[in-house]
Structure 1
Amino acid sequence: MKTEFSPKSSAFCVLIPIINEGERIHAELGRAKQAGICEKADIILCDGGSNDGSMDLELLRKMGVNTLLVKQDVGKQGAQLRMGISFALERGYEGVITVDGNNKDSVESIPLFIEKLLAGYDLVQGSRFISGGRAVNTPWQRWLAVRLIHAPVISLTARFHFTDTTNAFRAYSRKYLTHPDVQPLRDIFSGYELLAYLSVRATQLGLRACEVPVARVYPKGEKTPTKIKGMRGNIDLLKILFNNFRGMYVPGNGGETVNEMR
């Protein structure tokens, strides 16, 4: 289901997957509006079925949201992103920026991603760990997992050095998303598989990739906003990481057909 508040007005869009983010998504949208992001890219919310009242249509319109998409199919974050990517490609955007909707990321950095897309890069990864980036209140377990496990494995798989590979703040070119050897709209991408896969496939295919500095700020003294829950969630992430290393998500290895989600 989609609600279009405005027609396409930019060559780029920002996809924000959300579910029950409450005041966090409102705060993030407020920061984006204050930074003038709505004038540089169309903001598209990819809702997984929020029931907390945060998706009030009139409020979203006032906060500069271009389109609200509501997932009607099964799946989690990957399904939400597939829905958004499908809509973005159908609308003709030249590049897609993705960012979480829990107000942890520096949405003010979105122009950096647009600059790199305009310069011809196909995958632009945001990193809090490079010069100019900021990692604030990062839980030590998360820091160790990213720096010692996730980033090294993704870098080895991609044959390119990445530093912040669990970070969903990134950008993809239309050329990358429509490449016949990528096919991001397959049913296999229901959870976090799509983020891992798109981290590595660009450089495997000889497309251009880079990192840009961003900030990721975890709230101090509050429960960490995350959709990864407990030991089971971390084990599932490790399975995805190593399935990706083995090439399980490359077209032809999984056998799934394309699902043009709306």
Structure 2
Amino acid sequence: METILRGDDVRSPRYEVAWERPRAKQWAICVFVINEGEKIRKQVRAMAEHAPLVDVIVADGGSTDGSLDGALMQEAGAKALLVKRGPGKLSAQMRMAFDYCLAEGYDGVIVIDGNGKDGLDAIPSMVELLENGFDHVQGSRFIPGGHHENTPLSRYLAVNVLHAPLISLAAGFRYTDTTNGFRAYSRRLLTDPEIGVFRPCFDRYQLHYHLAIKAAAFGYRVIETPVSRVYPATGKTPTKIKGFGGLFAVMRQLVETCTGKYDTDA
């Protein structure tokens, strides 16, 4: 298949459409991944169970481990494999995925991490909530019906004592699990110029926070839905945030987003 290059590093980072097939569904689910090895291969195969509901799109941040290819996409019945070639981290991957999904005509986009921690059984409820007109659906392991295992104490405290309270205060809506990347967004939310998703300032982790805040603050329909997140019982905690410097950078981005740095009129 011929590689197609899109993006301009402004609206979205430059990216390759490394593999694709025609759109088949109303909704897409985008998997954000970089160098997850066998975990992402297992997850993509497992997501084939939900093919009747959603088109699966893998949004790769530039993996170098050889874990993703067209053969896997074909086997799993996926819609597309996007590979970021331009600058930025998670928020840049998100802009890449949203650029592609809006161009393909999807009415809403579910997003999920590609490290195998999230329970895929919440996908149908995400779709149902989008179908019922919700614009921002936040997955939460901390509400009735949610589930979490082996959550590091530092993560638990960070979410419940700092992260969720700050975003809830800025949004005017009580969120309980604001670091959870299992979410869903409507097309009308993603295309609102006052929210301004497609800006290069969203290059690290800010876009998740910005969307959660502005969706509620601007009167869009917002809801949390139960999800499951299971960390490994042993070994290193899966994370792309490295060391004290990485943690400090994330906290700075959180405070900046909550205080309006990324507002379109800032």
**TM-score normalised by the chain length of structure 2:** 0.92
**3-state secondary structure, aligned to 2:139:** strand
Return 5+ residue gaps in structure 1 as ranges.
Answer: 254-262
Summarize deviations over 1:46-75 as a string: whole Å, max 9, x none. Answer: 111111110122122102221001111011
Equivalent residue, structure 2, for 1:248? 261
Residue pairs, 1:44-59, within 5 angstroms: 44-59=57-72
1:229 aligns with one of 227, 242, 249: 242
Does the Cα contact within 8 Å between 2:19 and 2:70 map onto a contact in 1? no
Distance apart, 1:3 and its partner CA: 2.9
Among the aligned pairs, what percent are the same residue?
A: 44
Distance apart, 1:230 and its partner CA: 1.1
Letter in 1 for 2:211: L
Paired positions, count: 251
Equivalent residue, structure 1, for 2:231? 218
1:134 aligns with one of 122, 126, 147: 147
Equivalent residue, structure 2, for 1:192? 205
2:80 equivalent to 1:61: no
Equivalent residue, structure 1, for 2:137? 124
Does the Cα contact within 8 Å between 1:32 and 1:108 map onto a contact in 2? no
Distance apart, 1:38 and its partner CA: 1.6
Equivalent residue, structure 2, for 1:99? 112
Equivalent residue, structure 2, for 1:177? 190
Summarize deviations over 1:119-143 as a string: whole Å, max 9, x none. Answer: 1110000000001100110000000
Distance apart, 1:17 and its partner CA: 1.3
Equivalent residue, structure 1, for 2:18? 3
1:146 aligns with one of 151, 155, 159: 159
2:90 equivalent to 1:77: yes
Distance apart, 1:37 and its partner CA: 1.2
Distance 1:88 1:245 in 2: 27
Letter in 2 for 1:149: L
Distance 2:249 2:36 in 1: 23
Distance 2:42 2:170 in 1: 36
Distance 2:96 2:193 in 1: 18
Letter in 2 for 1:128: R
2:27 aligns with one of 12, 15, 29: 12
Equivalent residue, structure 2, for 1:259? none
Distance apart, 1:30 and its partner CA: 2.3
Distance apart, 1:252 and its partner CA: 2.3
Distance apart, 1:191 and its partner CA: 0.7
Does the Cα contact within 8 Å between 1:42 and 1:65 map onto a contact in 2? yes
Does the Cα contact within 8 Å between 1:29 and 1:64 map onto a contact in 2? no
Equivalent residue, structure 2, for 1:257? none
**TM-score normalised by the chain length of structure 1:** 0.94
Does the Cα contact within 8 Å between 2:41 and 2:68 map onto a contact in 1? no
**3-state secondary structure, aligned to 1:241:** helix
Summarize deviations over 1:20-59 as a string: whole Å, max 9, x none. Answer: 11011112112212xx212211111111111111012212
Summarize deviations over 1:54-100 as a string: whole Å, max 9, x none. Answer: 01221221022210011110111111110000011111100000000
Distance 2:46 2:107 in 1: 24
Greater shift, 61-70 or 184-193, is seen at 61-70
How large is the Cα RMSD of the aligned pairs? 0.9
Letter in 1 for 2:263: V
Q: Give the 4+ runs in structure 1 shifted more than 2 A.
A: none
